[in-house]
Amino acid sequence: MVFPFRSVQDFQIEIPDEVEIFRKSVRELVEQKIMPRWQEIEKTNEIPKEIFKEMGELGLFGVGIPEEYDGQGGGQLMTAILTEEVARAIPSLGVAIGVNHLFGIPILLFGSEELKKKYIPPIARGEAFGAHANTEPVAGSDVAGIQSKAKKVNDHYVINARKVFISGAGKANYFVVSARTEPPKADKRWWGITVFVVEKDWPGVNVGQQFKVIGMRGEQPYEVILEDVKVPAENVVGKVNEGFKIVVTTYDYTRIGIAAQAVGIAQASFEKALNYALQRETFNKPIVTHEMIIDKIANMYIRLEAARLLTYWAATLADKGRKEFVIAASLAKAFATETAEWIARQAIQVHGGYGVDTEMGVERYLRDAIITTIYEGTNEIQRLTIVRQLVRQAFGLRI
């Protein structure tokens, strides 16, 4: 036994040839069409519509979505590699990919066939966008703490909610929204939450202020307000009052995408640092030959590859349907995001004064990396999940 797993074979990562071919095609698109526009996106705080259009035409928004719903197929590993390659250029574009999955995964896993057929194909084709509205002013990582209300009235529900830090809300056509349909039970705080699909153009749905966070220029989050929004009963995702399980299960999968974003950020930061260290000279020789820079570059590379392996491993376990992927996903999310923050910080140090010059494009990776440590469950929550899953897998105990 390889505690808490069963065998060393549980740590296998197998990458099919078609996934590598796919990665190369995404890298080509990124280098030619996306990377050159990073300064424009930083300055305007918008990702150009033509980038989304081209990605949609190439089917990239359908990666990870079954072909029967107009997707491209592929699983968590292919989605992670797509996210990594895109985030290497524009981390906020990686967020845009992740937000669609935050919308689609709960419907694909728990929704009715009617919901899947209605809402998933437009997302897969890139004709529409989804968002995931769960976080509230008083509840984020503590999903059971949400206070939004949904009241059953005849054949529909009436929702009143204020959601905050909702990525992708500005361009979203649809939202997955969590709200309380019953108060929590004394011994079950999670009880009473229900998940709904809500369309942006329904009366009472309003996208409010945009939060000016330090990073992720081009895909910064919004406030979403629902005032007496009528939602058909058939738009309930899964079982009434059991939406907590839907939300946290969704995050089990999508935190792999956050780890992949972080790997992309770390890769870009490492590349910039290494290239600069080879070109910059002090005392008549490249700084890459100085011991302190050697130490930085080596440690950056060590952590980068460890983060990538953890991320691909978590994705592989998820694609195999192994329940152990939950702990692997939290390991990957916590380690990769903290690695991205650390590598980005070292990249700035290697660049010296140029590292904090916004025109160089190095400091933006640190700003973006910090955000990855917070959303999709803070890294403190990831550590809680790791220990809970560890004890559950090894000893069958719940803590």
Whether residue 376 lies in the annotated active site: yes
Q: Are strands 193-199 and 205-210 parallel, antiparallel or unpaired?
A: unpaired
- Using CA atoms of 378, 379, 383, 386 in order, give the dihedral in degrees to the nearest 10: 80
Q: Who contacts 390 (Cβ-Cβ below 8 Å, separation ≥6)?
A: 4, 327
**Dist CA 217 CA 38 (whole Å):** 10
- The DSSP bridge pattern shows strands 236-237 and 222-232 to be unpaired
Bridge partners (DSSP) of residue 123 are none
Closest among 216, 179, 180 to 198, alpha carbons compared: 179
Distance CA 302, CA 304 (A): 6
Strand partners, 132: 176
Question: Cα(41)–Cα(233) distance, rounded to whole angstroms?
Answer: 40
Q: Which of 227, 281, 376, 380 is catalytic?
A: 376
Tokens for 183? 């108060």
Could you give the CA distance from residue 128 to residue 53 in angstroms, rounded to a whole number?
11
SS3 letters across 80-136 = HHHHHHHHHHCHHHHHHHHHHHHHHHHHHHHCCHHHHHHHHHHHHCCCCCEEEECCE
Catalytic residues: 376
